[in-house]
Amino acid sequence: MSGPVGVGVIGAGVISDAYLTNLTSFPDVRVLAVADLDVERAAAQAVRHGVARSGGVDAVLDDPEIEIVVNLTIPAAHVEVGLAALDAGKHVWTEKPLALDREAARKLLDRAQEKGLRVASAPDTVLGAGLQTARRAIEAGRIGEPRTALAIFQTPGPERWHPAPEFLFQQGGGPLLDMGPYYLTVLVQVFGAIRRVTATANRARDTRVIGSGPRAGTEFPVIVPTSVTALVEFDRGGSAQLVLSFDSALQRTGFVEVTGTRGTAVLPDPNRFDGSTTLHLPNRSEPETLTAQGHDAERGTGVLELARAIRSGAAERASGALAHHVLDAMLAIDESAAKGRTVDVASTVEAPPALPENWDPRATTL
């Protein structure tokens, strides 16, 4: 096939704005429909972003022109919707996490393989110019061989700003499964596959209160741990300390520091597509700042990269295999914290190659 790749979005919630804003600006994809269980919400998003059609899930699954389903549903529905899309003959881009357990993730990837289709997954922030610039500098040997890292995400919790945050405190949420994919995916890009983890976790309180929107003041239960600390060890050597918390009154987010045999790099925020990299080198009196070099696209970049990979026959960079490995590591962290022992990570993965610096999401290539 040639020409733009047809895309349909399932899930018209908060994150869909960012995706639709970007996807409708890329000439290599065409957003043909927006779907949601709440068809009025789907219709509103379609109108807002100039998408011709909207409706229930079948509005996307039954459309023969749609080749990629962008699955923006809540984590508990990721696999169900993904399987339905594959059974309808469509490739899948899914928001993170890929699944809530290993068996479901494996089922999704196996179904895709059986049908000759692809599953790719957020986060695609690692494809942003900020982190790609950092990665190119590290791979060029600017800090030597990476040996250790420190990754920190600490906030008081998303209930302060999210109008419907309950799912972020249920199975599939918490700082581990909500924010962990950003940080662990970056670490895998730098260090390679994760070998084993040792972790602790706790829950600061059993209920939270919605702080904004029409349901402000509503109390809801907290099911999962809201603070997680882990030691992460990698197959080819090196380790990282990971701190993820929804309990901290002192907000520290977006911090990833990688130390190598010749220096230290402070990377951009893993939840952003831009940002500079700071190199601290022993032979320099002042830190060196590397401005992000490359494209300016944000969420939806991974969908576009998947679309181009499908057309060319190349492997997509934000692959289901990468997301599966990160999920496997997060579940191992959860298991380690629950059992009080080190847990091996059974899966492995090869980090994909960096994007070319001249990769242009605004170009017409298909």
Q: Where are the domains of the chain?
A: 5-121, 129-290
Of 94, 182, 138, nearest to 354 by C-alpha is 138
pTM over 0.75: yes
Predicted local distance difference test score (pLDDT) of residue 307: 98
Q: How confident is the model at residue 37 (pLDDT cuts 50, 70, 90)?
A: very high
Of 202, 207, 98, nearest to 159 by C-alpha is 207
| Distance separating alpha carbons of residues 296 and 152, to the nearest angstrom | 25
> Does residue 1 have a pLDDT over 80?
no
Identify whether the C-beta of residue 123 lies closer than 8 Å to the C-beta of residue 299: no
Mean predicted confidence (pLDDT) in 164-172: 92
> Does residue 2 have a pLDDT over 90?
no
Provide the mean pLDDT of the chain: 97
Predicted local distance difference test score (pLDDT) of residue 119: 98
| Distance separating alpha carbons of residues 209 and 190, to the nearest angstrom | 38
The superfamily in CATH containing domain 129-290 is Dihydrodipicolinate Reductase; domain 2 (3.30.360.10)
Mean predicted confidence (pLDDT) in 191-198: 98
Of 254, 225, 260, 224, nearest to 240 by C-alpha is 260
Identify whether the C-beta of residue 19 lies closer than 8 Å to the C-beta of residue 12: no
Model confidence pLDDT, tens digit, residues 216-267: 999 999 999 999 999 999 999 999 999 999 999 999 999 999 999 999 999 9
Q: Which CATH class is domain 5-121?
A: alpha beta
Identify whether the C-beta of residue 91 lies closer than 8 Å to the C-beta of residue 119: yes
